[in-house]
């Protein structure tokens, strides 16, 4: 049985923010996707979180059905402020934050800006690149070439060139929604991966924090984990050993298993907290 409730829009931080809601009971959890992932592409993950949490999946500005186009700031600061304004607009008093890749960077900054409501942070394979650091392994042409193709229409089969390991359903969904990813927004986020060092935020994180690294992603290396432990000794670090950067796409069960008991007990798909 699906846990999906409805999609909606809210005016927050001066823009329209679109969201999908799953579950509707239990503690609130805000899920912030990665750089070219509209909210709907995380639906198969949110279905499981909806069994345990009142789950809200956001379309980050410049993606999906949220505000987009010229005249908006797509930098980390504005996107982090969007998260806090979204929670306030919906009257969420306390909530867990979960972010993948770019979304993990955004929730870190959001929690530093507004620490009081945050119950926990789950950082899913965040880029740890930055000035003077190892470059993010994802290359810009992979993003821009597929986005530009999608603007004139791309099939799920053609998407196989970019996502060869994904299922047909996953490729079709990406083909349907990728055109909503506004190229300047994606470029700003990608540039921030290399120009903004998130290590400054680790010592300031206000709640228990999980860092999940993809075993085959190349984003977080053992030396990165060691540095992060010095910055936040209480951090829980776990691994999805058989997955690349898009962890739940590569290993659905392994993704949930990697949370361990971070949320109190295992997040086994089909089970309830």
pLDDT tens, position by position, 150-203:
999 999 999 999 999 999 999 999 999 999 999 999 999 999 999 999 999 999
Whole-number Å distance between alpha carbons of 167 and 170: 5
pLDDT > 50? residue 273: no
Which residue ranges form the domains of the chain, and what is each CATH number?
4-132+196-257 (3.40.50.1820)
Mean pLDDT of the 69-86 span: 98
> What is the chain's mean pLDDT, rounded?
97
Mean pLDDT of the 41-66 span: 98
Over residues 213-256, the pLDDT tens digits come to: 999 999 999 999 999 999 999 999 999 999 999 999 999 999 99
> Taken in order 219, 196, 64, 123, is the CA torsion positive or negative?
positive
How distant, in Å, are the alpha carbons of 132, 154, 219 from that of 135?
A: 9, 29, 9
Binned at pLDDT 50, 70 and 90, residue 270 comes out as low
Over residues 115-154, the pLDDT tens digits come to: 999 999 999 999 999 999 999 999 999 999 999 999 999 9
The pLDDT of residue 268 is 84
Pairing of β 95-100 and β 118-124: parallel
Coil, helix or strand for 188? helix
Packing angle between helix 102-113 and helix 183-195, nearest 10 degrees? Answer: 70
Mean pLDDT of the 89-100 span: 98
Mean pLDDT of the 2-8 span: 97
Q: Who wins on pLDDT, 111 or 273?
A: 111
The pLDDT of residue 272 is 43
Structure tokens belonging to residue 44: 């198969």
Closest of 104, 54, 135 to residue 205, by C-alpha: 104
Q: What pTM, to 2 d.p., does this model score?
A: 0.97
Burial class of residue 35 in the structure, from the number of CB atoms within 10 Å of its CB (0-12 exposed, 13-18 middle, 19+ buried):
buried
Whole-number Å distance between alpha carbons of 116 and 106: 17
């Amino acid at each position: 049985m699906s846990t999906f409730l409805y999609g909606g829009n809210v005016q927050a931080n001066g823009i329209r923010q679109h969201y999908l809601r799953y579950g509707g009971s239990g503690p609130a959890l805000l899920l912030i996707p990665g750089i070219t992932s509209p909210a709907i592409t995380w639906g198969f993950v949110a279905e499981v979180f909806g069994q345990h949490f009142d789950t809200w999946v956001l379309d980050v500005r410049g993606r999906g059905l949220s505000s987009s186009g010229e005249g908006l700031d797509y930098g980390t600061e504005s996107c982090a402020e969007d998260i806090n304004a979204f929670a306030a607009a919906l009257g969420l008093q306390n909530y867990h934050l979960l972010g993948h890749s770019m979304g993990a960077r955004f929730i870190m900054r959001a929690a530093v800006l507004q620490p009081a409501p945050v119950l926990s942070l789950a950082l899913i394979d965040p880029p740890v690149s930055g000035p003077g650091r190892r470059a993010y392994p994802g290359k810009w042409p992979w993003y821009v070439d597929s986005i530009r193709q999608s603007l004139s229409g791309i099939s799920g089969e053609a998407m196989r060139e970019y996502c060869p390991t994904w299922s047909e359903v996953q490729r079709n969904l990406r083909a349907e929604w990728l055109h909503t990813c506004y190229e300047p927004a994606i470029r700003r986020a990608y540039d921030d991966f290399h120009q903004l060092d998130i290590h400054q935020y680790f010592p300031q994180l206000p709640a228990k924090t999980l860092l999940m690294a993809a075993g085959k992603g190349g984003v977080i290396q053992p030396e990165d984990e060691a540095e992060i432990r010095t910055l936040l000794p209480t951090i829980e670090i776990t691994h999805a050993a058989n997955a690349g950067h898009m962890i739940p796409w590569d290993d659905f069960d392994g993704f949930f298993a990697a949370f361990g008991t971070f949320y109190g007990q295992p997040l086994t798909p089909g089970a309830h907290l």
